[in-house]
Amino acid sequence: MIASVTVVGASLAGLGTARALRDQGFDGRVTVVGSEVHRPYDRPPLSKEFLAGTMARDELDLLSPEDEPLGVDWRLARTAVRLDPGGRSVWLDDGEPIASDAVVIATGSRARRLPGPPLAGVHTLRTVDDATALRAELVPGARLVLVGAGFIGAEIASTAAGLGVEVTVTEALATPLAGPLGVELGRVCAGLHGDHGVRLVAGVGVAELVGERRVSAVRLADGRELPADVVVVGIGARPCVDWLAGSGLALAPDGGVATDARCATAVPGVLAVGDCAAAHRDWAGGPLRLEHWTNALTQPNTAAATLLGRDDPLPPDHEAPYFWSDQYGHRLQFAGHRRDGDLVEVVEGDVDAREFLAVYRRGDQPVAVLGMNQPRQFTRWRRRLAARATTTATV
């Protein structure tokens, strides 16, 4: 039996853990530590509606009047600097230790940055403060260069183009999104940039940012320079696990805190959820870190059940991950897990019309599905994949 839980991280996964504990009957002390001054807020709109100015700050808030009975002890604007796993004590940056019967690590991830001195006009996008600062610079006629054509970069490009900004997107890979989607459909989705007047420069990396105090250009590895008033660096994120050094917790090859399928680490009473966690997944053959909103939403229920000694079924998304992206008025949805060598077939619609559904197969088995503006068909396939993955994982 446990009487107290410390959750380190006050974003979606951290709040979800507190909610799940209460929903599953836990009436002990719950302390949530958050490095930001803000209470939990929703992050997907930061690159879209909030950045565009069509969503107010208070609309991002995840806490509602229904959350008042949670009885959480919030420790905001405080950073965890050390974990003593034996005593399950979390030490904060002001020297305060918080001891509890269990610790849930939900510290998320931070944006990767380019090397070099800091320059005004260079941004990353992970927090509401990042989005607020970036929005102030996205004025009509400004020249924006996005370094990285992943999903976040593409969403920012879409939003900025809608604000009248002159947008150029750079990508080191020859085909953007080839990793998650494969070359064929990565090329199709990347074509949305050209459809909407956004320049895409692919197949060449960035050598450095140019400027004295403020950025003035992005210099590519081939010597070309892209003039820029504003630069957004979107080259991925790394898990916030530095504070765990010396704790004895195992890290997975991708840097996340290694856990079993039920969010438990090898240290009793210490669990991890969300972007910083690398949970065991049968289809991956080991631990894997997923930076998906749905993963941060569903994992806390499993973690709470594990802490309380319940054997609840794993969520369908555990073996059939799901994410979505809104770009240029189009919704992209993906579920499952693609590998190099999988065959892909468009089974509905037309890629040239930017309305299609494609199924990835490994041998004769469907393993993933991608939809663009095909919500009904996609939902059917997603359920089918989740049911198959759940069955396969339990046999």
Domain boundaries in the chain?
4-110+238-315, 113-235, 329-394
For residue 34, give the amino acid letter: G
Residues 6+ apart with CB under 8 A from 166: 141, 142, 143, 144
Q: At 84, phi and psi to the nearest 5?
A: -100, 95
Do the domains 4-110+238-315 and 329-394 sit in the same CATH topology, yes or no? no
pLDDT tens-digit profile of 4-61?
999 999 999 999 999 999 999 999 999 999 999 999 999 999 999 999 999 999 999 9
Encode pLDDT of 127-155 as tens digits. 999 999 999 999 999 999 999 999 999 99
Give the tokens for residue 131: 């989005």
Confidence band (pLDDT; 50, 70, 90) for 392? low
Q: Which two tokens stand for residue 303?
A: 């973690």
Q: Is the dihedral of CA 322, 326, 332, 338 positive or negative?
A: negative
CB contact set of 366 (below 8 Å; sequence gap of 6+) = 336, 359, 360, 381, 384, 385, 388
For the chain, what percent of residues have pLDDT higher than 70? 98
Architecture of domain 113-235: 3-Layer(bba) Sandwich (3.50)
- CA–CA gap between residue 154 and residue 181 (Å, rounded): 14
Residue (of 271, 268, 284) closest to 319 by Cα position: 284
Domain 329-394 has CATH 3.30.390.30: yes
SS3 category, 148 = coil
| Identity at 53, one-letter amino acid code | G
Question: Helix and strand tally (H, E) in the chain?
Answer: 8, 26
For 339-375, the pLDDT digits (tens) are 999 999 999 999 999 999 999 999 999 999 999 999 9
From the list 172, 173, 167, the residue with the least C-alpha distance to 192 is 167
Q: Are strands 237-239 and 109-111 parallel, antiparallel or unpaired?
A: antiparallel
pLDDT at 395 over 50: no
**CATH architecture entry for 4-110+238-315:** 3-Layer(bba) Sandwich (3.50)
Q: Strand 166-171 to strand 199-202: parallel, antiparallel, or no bridges (unpaired)? A: parallel
Which spans in the chain are helix H? 12-23, 49-52, 128-135, 151-162, 178-181, 183-195, 293-307, 375-394
pTM above 0.85, yes or no: yes
- Compute φ and ψ for 338, nearest 5 degrees: -95, 145
| Residue among 145, 116, 133, 136 nearest 216 (CA) | 145
What CA–CA distance (Å, rounded) separates 96 from 78?
A: 10
Q: How far is CA 217 from CA 4, 143, 149, 354, in A?
A: 52, 10, 18, 33
Q: What is the pLDDT of residues 184-240, one digit of tens each?
A: 999 999 999 999 999 999 999 999 999 999 999 999 999 999 999 999 999 999 999
Amino acid of residue 320:
A
Question: Running DSSP on this structure, what letter comes out for residue 60?
Answer: G
| 20 CB-side CA count, 13 A | 25
